[in-house]
Structure 1
């Protein structure tokens, strides 16, 4: 009997060590990728300073930003890893090599991402910002520790301010239960604070995901539609810029292969269209589920039952579609976020992004990525119930909030799709697939020469038309010298 207890304890010990080792290897890989991304965008001049103290402060802040970005990538991969693990266990239920993949490991990953997300948002990223801006208390001895003390005091004051605001908000919403929550800091305050941050992130995803879809359709549509000189330009500088971009686009299209020119861009547009339509249909179906089945509401679970059943009615194919849609929505939200007028200045530039901008980008990406699992489950993209603290949000069980959220997302996404998929884009999409027939039958070079000659003549015609209206006779010689 005692030997059985020892064997059981040894198994539990080995399972725990194995899970911690897998989590450590996963986060180490994500940390390396995050470090490569940040070093690609950071401004190198900030780390080549003669002041050793400033260089040390910048390196510490960079490490904290790298850790936060790796947590963001981990939050994005939570649902895809969980869905993929479930399908692997369904395909190989008795495989010896898949015994390490279980619900305990997935649950540990979710809890670890939740903990590190709280830690990064509440402490690490604010510490990194205050640390880079600190100079030490007035009258104190200058040095690294003086800046650490100032940063710690500022962080403490910020924590007290946020604690007071959240406690007042909780008191207004929950009444007398908020009085006891002040003494239960770890079990109530931090999850409640993260719930508020997650709700804010979900609202940002609701706003910027349709905008990102619209932006991607617009960019692909510009690559698809023939370049034309805009008739709305007034000044010679504007018409020069318009014609220069027109000729540059013509040159890029000429250098492209016939397959890339006639099939690449249309296929990208078609893939975006299919993914968006499938996403809208899944959300509409989830709206019907909410009306007729109360179990369709998102809910939490303590131990994810992996390997019991597929999370999609279409099996492995449906699970693959869910993973693609989750990643597609995340990319769309990031594109929409950086395309908005409020946050366009945060857009990182290679080798020219300041440390303050990097911190702001890490905060933004962490808020968006930590809300992605809740966002995907609320829309019904997947039926994987959120484990751990991700499923403890009070508003997830509110039918009116979830139903209204789904309706708004479907409406906004449909409106953006209708607005960006113009008749010009549809006509060029059909034309591009029609031109593919010419390429297949060997008429591509002849047709391409005629097509590009038509583009260049239209550019020159636009310039002459502008000159006849504005009298800018020197524009032709200006273009000859500069284009």
Structure 2
């Protein structure tokens, strides 16, 4: 009942999320099965969200049982519940990736076999046949790969066990792909989050006079506006160029007004705290991974092997107690958000980014599959990097590659190296840009050259200086006709 209640809550939440992004024209089409396909997408997204919450929920449950071991109201929170949740997430992830999402996609693209009556059942028949052929193809590839990798009697005997061998082996390959995708997306996402935070929050600027910049920008905007409104055949003006400069100056003026209206607390405290928080979380993650690398070299118990019994409420999984467990939960969510940001920011997957009220069904299916692959690999990702000491439960700990020391060691080294490189690159470049901009503006202000930055100027012979900074604005005055001749 508790598992059903949790899943229903996640399903309702995911339904509102998909409704927020789906394209309205889809529901006006005469397709009776559209709601069912959206239901499959909602189910898959709910499983993905459950996979994200799986490890944090387990860590919090362990700490709650440690803090209140004899409390009557939390007796329902036990090892069997947590173990059951891990098994259900594993089962539903396999079901969604192997059957539900391929069926939804093939049904969307199907039209029925040639010569058959057009309708829902014809599309169902075609989708079922295509899905069956795809399943046989995938199972055949897995059978061949298994026979090549494990050439012994036990492996050959297990080849005939579909439920106990094929699906865990196939999901192990999918999880390995998801973990590798997390390895590539997370450092890139960490770097992108610094940039996004700088754009969303009001940044403090060193040695800056906002009143002077705002006044000068308003004069520049008014000057360009007058030049555009007074353009005639008497003057040879590039109106399109002036319009582009006008929009650029207006955009800058609005940003300056937004910064001017921001309170000193928001301008001087909000941005530094946010950047320091991101920097601290990233640095702690790198330090934990580096310490885990040393553990891998010295202690064989640091390998991310799974267990079958959930020993909750006996010992904390962090040497810092409840504070360390809370930090582990924060880091897990932080890495997941970073991986999603990096996934949608990468050039390969930018087109999958959903748009509000304008996302077609095929793109929704692609997003659900991608998020499920990332989220189902999150527990393995966190345990492999040593972010948490909570062992993988159920079938998540049966992946063969988790016992390979070289894969785990190189994975940790790759994450630490890529994250450190992106962090140093992003922070050092940002600091250099701020210092160059600040001292450059201060030097310009000292020489009377103005403090505002406007679009690149044309040849200086045709410019007009109305105030400090306007000497960079192009205002050509070349006549196109002799005086005295009408247009």
- Structure 1 and Structure 2 fold alike (TM over 0.5): yes
Is 1:33 aligned with 2:10? no
Q: Which runs of 5+ in 1 are unaligned?
A: 1-20, 230-234, 433-456, 479-483
Q: Distance in 2 between matches of 1:237 and 1:328?
A: 43
In structure 2, the residue matched to 1:132 is 108
In structure 1, the residue matched to 2:291 is 285
Deviation at 1:303, TM superposition (A): 1.1
Is 1:345 aligned with 2:351? yes
Is 1:108 aligned with 2:84? yes
Q: CA 1:412–1:240 in structure 2 vs 1: closer, same or farther (change >3 Å)?
A: farther
Q: Deviations over 1:416-450 (max 9, x none)?
A: 00010025437859x99xxxxxxxxxxxxxxxxxx
Is 1:462 aligned with 2:438? no
Q: CA 1:139–1:469 in structure 2 vs 1: closer, same or farther (change >3 Å)?
A: farther
Q: CA 1:306–1:352 in structure 2 vs 1: closer, same or farther (change >3 Å)?
A: same
**8 A Cα contact 2:204 2:268, kept in partner:** no
In structure 2, the residue matched to 1:80 is 56
Q: 1:91 aligns with which of 64, 67, 77?
A: 67
Q: Distance in 2 between matches of 1:95 and 1:470?
A: 83
In structure 1, the residue matched to 2:171 is 194
Q: Which runs of 5+ in 2 are unaligned?
A: 218-240, 439-449, 465-471, 477-487
Deviation at 1:178, TM superposition (A): 4.8
Q: CA 1:426–1:32 in structure 2 vs 1: closer, same or farther (change >3 Å)?
A: farther
Aligned length in residues: 423
Which stretch of the first structure deviates more once superposed, 211-220 or 66-75? 211-220
Q: 2:328 aligns with which of 319, 322, 328?
A: 322
**8 A Cα contact 2:90 2:395, kept in partner:** yes
Deviation at 1:98, TM superposition (A): 1.2
Deviation at 1:48, TM superposition (A): 1.3
In our comparison, the structure showing a higher alpha carbon Rg is 2
**8 A Cα contact 1:221 1:425, kept in partner:** no
**8 A Cα contact 2:463 2:475, kept in partner:** no
**8 A Cα contact 2:66 2:315, kept in partner:** yes
Which stretch of the first structure deviates more once superposed, 261-270 or 24-33? 261-270
Give TM-score, length-normalised by structure 1: 0.82
Q: Distance in 1 between matches of 2:322 and 2:432?
A: 33
Q: Deviations over 1:372-416 (max 9, x none)?
A: 000000000000000100000111111111111001100000000
Looking at secondary structure, tell me which structure has more helix per residue.
1
Deviation at 1:135, TM superposition (A): 1.2
Give TM-score, length-normalised by structure 2: 0.82
Q: Distance in 2 between matches of 1:202 and 1:115?
A: 19
Q: 1:252 aligns with which of 245, 250, 258?
A: 258
